[in-house]
A and B are shown apart, each in its own frame.
Chain A
Amino acid sequence: GQNIDQPTEMTATEGAIVQINCTYQTSGFNGLFWYQQHAGEAPTFLSYNVLDGLEEKGRFSSFLSRSKGYSYLLLKELQMKDSASYLCAVKDSNYQLIWGAGTKLIIKP
């Protein structure tokens, strides 16, 4: 079966750095997405990785290792507004998006 694993919840301190991991087992791979979702709102797109390596976009970076079936989202200089759920999703060989359950990130002052 297809599976996406990410931690259920993480806590970090304002101003610090946090890394949210995502491991996947899917039938084929056509890219990995990270989305941010604030409570009661729809998800918003953060990043896309299809090749191995690190993609940096401001305070957020996303890393992919296809051989390990592994990705992480790195958030630097954490702000209180970063408190949200972070969803990892993989596009399989049929271009279907397989969603992780999401990681709830709690930022403390």
Chain B
Amino acid sequence: GAVVSQHPSRVICKSGTSVKIECRSLDFQATTMFWYRQFPKKSLMLMATSNEGSKATYEQGVEKDKFLINHASLTLSTLTVTSAHPEDSSFYICSAISSRGGNSPLHFGNGTRLTVT
């Protein structure tokens, strides 16, 4: 069964509103969670790395004030897209890992398809 739950799976919002996406690890404590964005027919683009209890590390070119990440507990991270615009429409995927070293694979959520009208 799924080990990472991401919600909602689809969301349509109006331009200027904010959208929150939740990512939960279901049966393990996630020391680190990652947020990705994926455009059609493109690979995953890492947006930010989130460690529980500390500020997220954003990749170059990603606006931290626009994409707010909160990793409040070892099982929950949230991504809030603030003041969304049509160009923010994309497939957002979270993943979680219990340990950064070794062969711990990433466990992915099912993704959230965001459409901004």
Between A and B, 28 residue pairs with Cβ closer than 8 Å are: A30-B101, A33-B105, A35-B106, A40-B111, A40-B113, A41-B110, A41-B111, A42-B6, A42-B95, A42-B108, A42-B109, A43-B44, A43-B106, A43-B108, A44-B108, A45-B105, A45-B106, A45-B107, A48-B105, A50-B103, A87-B44, A95-B101, A97-B106, A99-B43, A99-B44, A99-B46, A100-B43, A101-B42
Task: Indicate whether A42 sits within 8 Å of B101 (C-beta atoms), given known contacts A99-B44, A101-B42.
Answer: no
Q: State whether the Cβ of B76 lies closer than 8 Å to any Cβ in chain A.
A: no
With a CB–CB cut-off of 8 A, which chain A residues contact B105? 33, 45, 48
Q: Contact between A42 and B103 (Cβ–Cβ < 8 Å)?
A: no
Q: Give the complex CA separation of A100 and B44 in angstroms.
A: 9
Closest CB in chain B relative to A74 CB, distance in Å = 19
B69 close to chain A: CB less than 8 A: no
Chain A: minimal CB distance from B94 (Å): 9
Encoded as 1 (CB less than 8 Å from any B CB) or 0, chain A from 15 to 57 comes to: 0000000000000001101010000111111001010000000
